[in-house]
Amino acid sequence: MENRKQRIENLKTERTPAEEVILRRRSVRLYKKEQVPDFMIKRILEAGRFAPSAGNGQPWKFVVLREPEIIDGITETTIKICKLFKSLIDYRIPGKRWRLPIAKFNIALKPAELHPVPFGACTLIADRKLGLFHGAPTVIMIFKDVRGISNPDVDCGIAGQNMALTAHSMGLGTCWISFAKLAFQYTGKWKKMLGIRYPYKFVTSLSVGWPVGNPDGMIARPTHEVDWYENGTKKVVH
Ligand SMILES: Cc1cc2nc3c(=O)[nH]c(=O)nc-3n(C[C@H](O)[C@H](O)[C@H](O)COP(=O)(O)O)c2cc1C
């Protein structure tokens, strides 16, 4: 009991190592060429494997890419698809404003994919102004088992966050890369190359490597209101 009291006292002024990693992790978009040792990637995968999942179903498949030809190939396929999207629906190009109602219609059909933020990034990728994997020497792809009970996307997200945080705790950098989905959703080429077939489906990926500089660190985040029910009342906390 004394121990717990002391721990609570300490927590008033100190963060735990886990909190430090969570708060300081930043997306890394510039990597050194130097490859990450195998054993570190295996430890990262192990952290993913230990993630909780509904019914302990572990509805995931991880694929590690360290072949520059494959990483570049997926990048080129994604750029082609981004270019196609841009040519078909970018209403911001001078002389193409007539596309605006068509774009609005498409956005209404696929609000998540064509939200202005990913749409803007899609244009940058098409123009090669934003790299897909940001030059990382290792990419971990996460595929879900679509038969997973409850919500396999959530399980894959938890596994991915375990991996990202473990990588940062080792001094590595990561960035979630969901844009690679385009190469798996709109072509069969990379699914075939990597032997991905039913029941697996691309969810997201993580670029992993040694960061250039020191990008990790705390930044201001918007505070969201949280409703807190206790002792018969509701209060709002931040
Ligand atoms: C599911 C998911 C997908 C993401 N996809 C991409 C991506 O394709 N490319 C990219 O550069 N960043 C991507 N990000 C990174 C976000 O832009 C980033 O997490 C966000 O801006 C917050 O910044 P922080 O990670 O430094 O805290 C993704 C993040 C998540 C969680």
Residue type, 16: T
Is 31 near ligand 1, meaning CB less than 6 Å away?
Answer: no
Is 179 near ligand 1, meaning CB less than 6 Å away?
Answer: yes
Is 27 near ligand 1, meaning CB less than 6 Å away?
Answer: yes
Residues whose CB is less than 8 angstroms from the CB of residue 176 and which lie 6 or more positions away in sequence, other chains included? 27, 160, 164, 204, 205, 206
Residue type, 58: Q
CA dist list (Å): 43 to 36, 154, 169, 172, 194: 12, 21, 11, 12, 22
H helices present in the chain, as ranges: 2-11, 17-24, 38-49, 68-89, 100-109, 116-126, 152-169, 181-185, 189-193
Rounded mean pLDDT, 207-224: 95
- pLDDT band at 237, cuts 50/70/90? very high
Span from the CA of 175 to the centroid of ligand 1 (angstroms) = 6
- pLDDT band at 1, cuts 50/70/90? low
> What are the residue ranges spanned by the domains of the chain?
25-68+135-209, 74-126
Give the model's pLDDT for residue 28: 98
Closest Cα to atom 31 of ligand 1: 176
pLDDT at 52 over 80: yes
The domain over range 25-68+135-209 is classified in CATH as 3.40.50.720: no
Closest Cα to atom 18 of ligand 1: 27
Span from the CA of 71 to the centroid of ligand 1 (angstroms) = 18
Is residue 207 classed as helix, strand or coil in its secondary structure? strand
Is 133 near ligand 1, meaning CB less than 6 Å away?
Answer: no
The model's pLDDT over 70-128, given as tens digits with 9 standing for 90+, comes to 999 999 999 999 999 888 777 777 787 888 888 788 778 877 766 777 778 988 999 99
pTM value? 0.93
The 8-class DSSP code of residue 16 comes to: -
38-49 and 152-169 helices, crossing angle to 10°:
140
Distance between alpha carbon 203 and the CA centroid of its chain, in Å? 9
Cα separation of 218 and 23, whole Å? 6
Cα separation of 122 and 195, whole Å? 26
